[in-house]
Structure 1
Amino acid sequence: MWQELHRLAYRYLVSLGLTREDAEDLAQETMVAACLHLDGVQPGKLQAWVITVARHKFIDWLRRAGRGVSLLYLPDAEPEEAAGCPEAKALQQERRQEIMAALNRLEPTERALLVLKYNLGLKGEEIAKLLKMKPNTVKVKLYRARQRFKAEYNRILEGRR
């Protein structure tokens, strides 16, 4: 269970743009907080609580580092899938930057919904609990966020041509 929660916090922090090393440090801090305050977490809400703690640790880290809260802070970690081929690495990094640019054009709530759904693989009900929304509201907002992301991403691709 603890390894799964650590992996969840780590993946969430990496999806926010942290380097692997920084994400690992903050995931460890998140797990320490989880151990210390586990008795205050309601049953069935542990994952949502861990993500919330990780988000707060991330915001605190940004403040300490003197950075604003933004998804423009791109990781310097190399994509794992393209480990052997320099051309594939470059293309994958370029695509990641385009995706991050499109995400940065969205509203913060839209970005959060897309990250929670697609980077972390959370279900609509889990997202609703985490963001304190109704499940139907999450569905509608996710649909709209996907549409806006597609439009922004297509604008970026068209500008590249």
Structure 2
Amino acid sequence: MFEQYQLPLYRYLLQMSRNEQIAEELLQETFYRAMVSLQVKDMIQARAWLFKVARNLFIDWTRKSKSEQQMIEQIQIKHESISNLGNPELQFEKKTRQQELEAVMKQLPERMRTIIYLREIQGFTYKELTTAMNLTESQVKVTLHRAREKFRYYDQQKKGGYEYEE
């Protein structure tokens, strides 16, 4: 199970914390808790359970921060160097867009960030999301819809786009 879920969980925790050391610590704690108490027979449920534990550990970690501003400062984006290969202008545009999208994600509340990440990046089903997020299926759908809308709004706002009405 460790080999199968180590990398996806690490990527999720790194995406959320933007800190390699924190992601590694939370990953270790997630698998420690799995060794101690995981009794799920179905591997699909195990995946959702592991992401749920990782999410809860991340939330606990962020709560230890003194304020929302401190949390944002601790979750700084690490930049990859731009490749010298290929078209430098395209590489720069791609990197700039990636940074913009990461900045938009950072503006979303944790629950919305998590649900978008698990659905769009990890490919979770609605059923897996209900388990991982401790929500009903209708709550998952509503939260995901609102998260996507808010993401689009922040993305358009960043580009100087349209007005948004809630």
Length-normalised TM-score, structure 2: 0.71
For residues 75 and 104 of structure 1, the distance between their equivalents in structure 2, rounded to whole angstroms, comes to 9
How far does residue 152 in structure 1 lie from its aligned partner after superposition? 1.3
Structure 1 residues 110-119 or 88-97, which shifts more? 88-97
Aligned to 1:56: 56
Aligned to 1:148: 150
How far does residue 114 in structure 1 lie from its aligned partner after superposition? 0.8
Aligned to 1:29: 29
1:136 correspondence with 2:138: yes
For residues 50 and 116 of structure 2, the distance between their equivalents in structure 1, rounded to whole angstroms, comes to 18
Segments of structure 2 that go 5 or more residues without pairing to the other structure are 162-166
For residues 106 and 34 of structure 2, the distance between their equivalents in structure 1, rounded to whole angstroms, comes to 30
For residues 71 and 122 of structure 1, the distance between their equivalents in structure 2, rounded to whole angstroms, comes to 26
C-alpha contact 2:13 2:58 (8 A) present in aligned 1: yes
Q: CA RMSD in A?
A: 3.1
Structure 1 residues 83-92 or 21-30, which shifts more? 83-92
Length-normalised TM-score, structure 1: 0.73
1:142-161 Cα distance to aligned partner (Å, 9 max, x none): 223212211210110127xx
For residues 125 and 100 of structure 1, the distance between their equivalents in structure 2, rounded to whole angstroms, comes to 26
For residues 10 and 146 of structure 2, the distance between their equivalents in structure 1, rounded to whole angstroms, comes to 27
How far does residue 126 in structure 1 lie from its aligned partner after superposition? 0.5
C-alpha contact 1:34 1:50 (8 A) present in aligned 2: yes
Aligned to 2:6: 6
User: What is the aligned counterpart of 1:120 among 102, 119, 122?
Assistant: 122
1:117-146 Cα distance to aligned partner (Å, 9 max, x none): 112221111101222222233223322321
Residues 50-129 of structure 1 mapped to structure 2, 5 A cutoff? 50-62=50-62, 68=68, 70=71, 73-76=75-78, 78=80, 83-85=83-85, 90-129=92-131
Matched letter for residue 49 of structure 1: W
Aligned length in residues:
155
Segments of structure 1 that go 5 or more residues without pairing to the other structure are none
For residues 16 and 89 of structure 1, the distance between their equivalents in structure 2, rounded to whole angstroms, comes to 24
Match of 1:112, SS state, is helix
Aligned to 1:16: 16
1:13-43 Cα distance to aligned partner (Å, 9 max, x none): 02204233442333123222222223xx333
C-alpha contact 2:129 2:140 (8 A) present in aligned 1: yes
1:42 correspondence with 2:40: yes
For residues 105 and 19 of structure 1, the distance between their equivalents in structure 2, rounded to whole angstroms, comes to 17
